[in-house]
C-alpha cells in the first residue's frame, strides 16, 4: 500500500507537470538532465502536494551504501574535548544507519599537522560521499577542501570555520561573539589598574579560531573604553612544564596581571600554574567542559568556562550531510551553537 501511495504521488506530480515519471524521479533525486524551468515547475507541484517520498523504502531498494568520513583530532592526555564530538557522530550514525549510511572516523594528532595531511589523503583514496571536518590546520584544510570540491564531495566544518572555502555548512560557535562574551565575563571583578593576559596555547598559533576569538575579546574592551592593558602570549609547547616556564616569565615582567583568558580548552594547564604559584587571585576564564577544566572550576581556580556543545556540533554535522545526500534537502550554510557559560554553581547540570 505504501509503495502504491508513493507511486501515485510521482504519477500525479508527472501528470500535473506534463512530464514523464522518469523526469520527476530525476528531480526527486537531484539528477541532471532536467531544465531549470521544468525543475521549478515540478518542485512547485511537490511543494503544493506536500509530497514526501518513502525515503527508507527507496534507500533499501537501491542497496547503495553512502559512506561519510569524519576527520577529527584524537582524544589526548592534554584534553578529552574530542570525546564529545565522537559521541555526536555515534549518536547520528545510530539514527541513520538504517538508511544504508556508514561512517568512517579518522583521527589526527592535534600537535602534528602531518597526521592531518596523512588522514586526509587516506580519505580521498576511498569512495566517500561526504566528509565532516574539524579544520584545525588552515593551510592543510585549504588543500583538502580544494580536492573535495573538485571531486564534488560535500564537506561540513565543525568547531571552527574557514569561510572562504565554501563548505556545505559550518556548525559551531560564533567565534567573535564568543571572545566578546569572554571579555565581558572577565571584567566582573577586574580592577581598572590591572592588566589582562590573553593566552594562546597551541602548536599552531596561526589559527582562525584564536585570531577571531581574540578579535572579539579585544573589541569588548575597545567598545566599552576599558582602561586595562591587554598582554598576549603565544605558547607553542603544550606540556605543563613549558606552559609554566612561559607564564613564569610573563608574570615576572607584568606583576600587575589581574585576569587571564585562555582561547581554548587547555585552560586547566594555566589553572594548574596559578594554583602552584599561589596566584589564584587572578581571574581565569577558558573554554570547554572537559574533566580537568571542571576540576579547577569546582575548586574556584577557573571562574567561568565557555562551552559550545561539541557533541551537538558533530551530530548536526552528520545530519546535515544526511539531509543533503539522502533527503536532497538544503541546509543552512551557517549554524551557530549557543554560547553557554558554565560556573561552579551550575556545572553539575550541564551536558556537553
pLDDT by residue (tens digit) across 62-91?
667 899 999 999 998 777 899 999 999 999
pLDDT score for 57: 58
Which pLDDT band, with edges at 50, 70 and 90, does 130 fall under? very high
Q: Which residues of 61-70 are buried (b: 16+ CB within 10 A; e: fewer)?
A: eeeeebbbbb
Report how far residue 218's alpha carbon sits from residue 115's, in angstroms, rounded to the nearest whole number.
33
pLDDT of residue 230: 97
Query: What residue ranges define each of the domains in the chain, with the CATH number in brackets?
Result: 2-53 (1.10.260.40), 64-172+310-337 (3.40.50.2300), 175-307 (3.40.50.2300)
**pLDDT at position 284, please?**
98
Q: What is the pTM of this model?
A: 0.82
- 223 burial via Cβ count (<10 Å: 0-12, 13-18, 19+): exposed
Percent of the chain with pLDDT over 90: 72
Q: 300 — alpha (psi -120 to 50), left (phi > 0) or beta?
A: left
pLDDT of residue 48: 77
Report yes or no: 243 and 234 within 8 Å, Cβ to Cβ. no
Confidence of residue 14 (pLDDT cuts 50, 70, 90): confident
Which range, of 102-106, 318-322, 339-343, 348-352, averages the lowest pLDDT? Answer: 348-352
Single out the residue of 48, 207, 221 nearest to residue 134, CA to CA: 207
pLDDT of 2 > 60? The answer is no
**Alpha carbons 201 and 293: distance in angstroms, whole number:** 15
pLDDT of 229 above 80? yes
What confidence tens digit (pLDDT) does each residue in 34-70 have?
999 999 998 888 877 766 666 655 665 566 789 999 9
pLDDT at 281 over 60: yes
- What's the average model confidence in pLDDT over 137-164? 95
pLDDT digits (tens, 9 = 90+) for 292-329: 999 999 999 999 999 999 999 999 999 999 999 988 88
Q: Which pLDDT does position 16 carry in this prediction? A: 87
Who's near 92: CB < 8 A, 6+ residues apart? Answer: 103, 314, 315, 317, 318, 319, 322
Q: pLDDT at residue 92 above 50?
A: yes
Average pLDDT (196-217) is: 86
Average pLDDT for 259-272: 96
The CA distance from 247 to 274, in Å, is 9
Average pLDDT value for residue range 170-188: 96
Amino acid at each position: 500500500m505504501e509503495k502504491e501511495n508513493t507511486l501515485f504521488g510521482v504519477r500525479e506530480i508527472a501528470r500535473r507537470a506534463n512530464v514523464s515519471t522518469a523526469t520527476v524521479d530525476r528531480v526527486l533525486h537531484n539528477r541532471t538532465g532536467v531544465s531549470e524551468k521544468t525543475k521549478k515547475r515540478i518542485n512547485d507541484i511537490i511543494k503544493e502536494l506536500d509530497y514526501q517520498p518513502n525515503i527508507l523504502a527507496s534507500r533499501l531498494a537501491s542497496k547503495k551504501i553512502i559512506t561519510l568520513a569524519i576527520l577529527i583530532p584524537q582524544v589526548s592526555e592534554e584534553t578529552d574535548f574530542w570525546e564529545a564530538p565522537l559521541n555526536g557522530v555515534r549518536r547520528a550514525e545510530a539514527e541513520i544507519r538504517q538508511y544504508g549510511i556508514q561512517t568512517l572516523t579518522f583521527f589526527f594528532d592535534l600537535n602534528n599537522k602531518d597526521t592531518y595531511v596523512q588522514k586526509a589523503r587516506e580519505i580521498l583514496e576511498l569512495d566517500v560521499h561526504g566528509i565532516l571536518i574539524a579544520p584545525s590546520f588552515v593551510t592543510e584544510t585549504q588543500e583538502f577542501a580544494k580536492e573535495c570540491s573538485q571531486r564534488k564531495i560535500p564537506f561540513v566544518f565543525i568547531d571552527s570555520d574557514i569561510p572562504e572555502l565554501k563548505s556545505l555548512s559550518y556548525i559551531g560557535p560564533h567565534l567573535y561573539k564568543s571572545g566578546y562574551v569572554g571579555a565581558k565575563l572577565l571584567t566582573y571583578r577586574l580592577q581598572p589598574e590591572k592588566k589582562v593576559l590573553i593566552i594562546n596555547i597551541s602548536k599552531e598559533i596561526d589559527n582562525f579560531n584564536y585570531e577571531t576569538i581574540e578579535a572579539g575579546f579585544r573589541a569588548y574592551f575597545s567598545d566599552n573604553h576599558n582602561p586595562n592593558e591587554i598582554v598576549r602570549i603565544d605558547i607553542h609547547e603544550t606540556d605543563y612544564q613549558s606552559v609554566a616556564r612561559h607564564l613564569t616569565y610573563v608574570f615576572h615582567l607584568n606583576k600587575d596581571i589581574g585576569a587571564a583568558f585562555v582561547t581554548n580548552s587547555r585552560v586547566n594547564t594555566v589553572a594548574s600554574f596559578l594554583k602552584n604559584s599561589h596566584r589564584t587571585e587572578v581571574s581565569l576564564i577558558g573554554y570547554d567542559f572537559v574533566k580537568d577544566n571542571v576540576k579547577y572550576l569546582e575548586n574556584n581556580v577557573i571562574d567561568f568556562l565557555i562551552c559550545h556543545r561539541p557533541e551537538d556540533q558533530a551530530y548536526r554535522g552528520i545530519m546535515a550531510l544526511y539531509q543533503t545526500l539522502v533527503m536532497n534537502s538544503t541546509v543552512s550554510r551557517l549554524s551557530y551553537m549557543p554560547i553557554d557559560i558554565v560556573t561552579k554553581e551550575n556545572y553539575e547540570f550541564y551536558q556537553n
